Chain A
Amino acid sequence: MKKELKGKVAIVTGAGRLRGIGKTTAVALAKLGADVVVTGTGRKPENYPEDEKAVGWKDVESVADLIRDEGSKALTIIADVTNKSDVKNMIDQTIKEFGRIDILINNAAYARAEDRVPILDLDENVFQKVVDIKITGTFLCTKGVIEHMIKQGDGGKIVNISSSAGKKGTANFLAYNAGNFGIVGMTQSMARELGPENINVNAVCPGAVDTSRMDVVRDDWDKMAANTPIGRNGTDKEVGDFCAYLCTEASSWIHGQSINLNGGTIMEH
Chain B
Amino acid sequence: MEKELKGKTAIVTGAGRLRGIGRATAVALANLGANIVITGTGRDPETFPEDEKSIGWNDIESTAEQVRNQGSLAKTIITDITKESDVETLVQSTLERFGSLDILVNNAAAPYGEDRVPIVEIENEIFKKVINTKVYGSFLCSKFAAKEMISQNTGGRIINLSSSAGKEGHARMGAYNAANFAIEGFTQALAKELALDKITVNSVCPGMTETARLDPIGRGALWKSRAENIPMGRVGTDEEVADLIAFLSTDRARFITGQAININGGSVTSR
Contacts and interface: CB of A to CB of B under 8 A. Distances in A.
A21 to B, nearest CB: 12
A263 B243 CA distance: 21
Interface string B207-250: 10000000000000000000000111100110111011001000
A238 B257 CA distance: 13
Contacts of B231: 191-192, 195-196, 255-256
Interface stretch (A81-89, A142-150, A229-237): A229-237
Contact of B269 (A1, A251, A256): A256
B261 A254 contact: yes
A192 B266 contact: yes
Interface string B249-271: 00011111111111111100111
B138 to A, nearest CB: 17
B255 A255 contact: no
Contacts of B101: none
Given A196-B231, A230-B196, A254 B254 contact: no
A48 interface: no
B1 A254 contact: no
Contact of B244 (A191, A230, A254, A267): A254
Contact residues on B (Cβ < 8 Å of other chain), bracket: 35 or more
B6 to A, nearest CB: 14
Given A254-B262, A255-B232, A261 B255 contact: yes
B195 interface: yes
Nearest to B201: A264
B167 interface: yes
A2 interface: yes
Contacts of A267: 188, 191, 258-260
B192 interface: yes
A158 interface: no
A195 B191 contact: no
Interface of B: 1-2, 167, 188, 191-192, 195-196, 198, 200, 207, 230-233, 236-237, 239-241, 243-244, 247, 252-266, 269-271
The 8 closest A-B pairs by CB, nearest first: A195-B231, A269-B271, A229-B195, A256-B266, A256-B269, A255-B266, A264-B258, A250-B243
Given A250-B239, A250-B240, A259-B259, 11 more contacts: A192-B231, A195-B230, A229-B191, A231-B196, A253-B236, A254-B261, A259-B261, A260-B256, A262-B255, A263-B257, A267-B188
7 contacts: A195-B230, A229-B192, A230-B195, A235-B255, A253-B232, A256-B262, A257-B262
Interface of A: 1-2, 187-188, 191-192, 195-196, 198, 228-231, 234-235, 238-239, 241-242, 245, 250-264, 267, 269
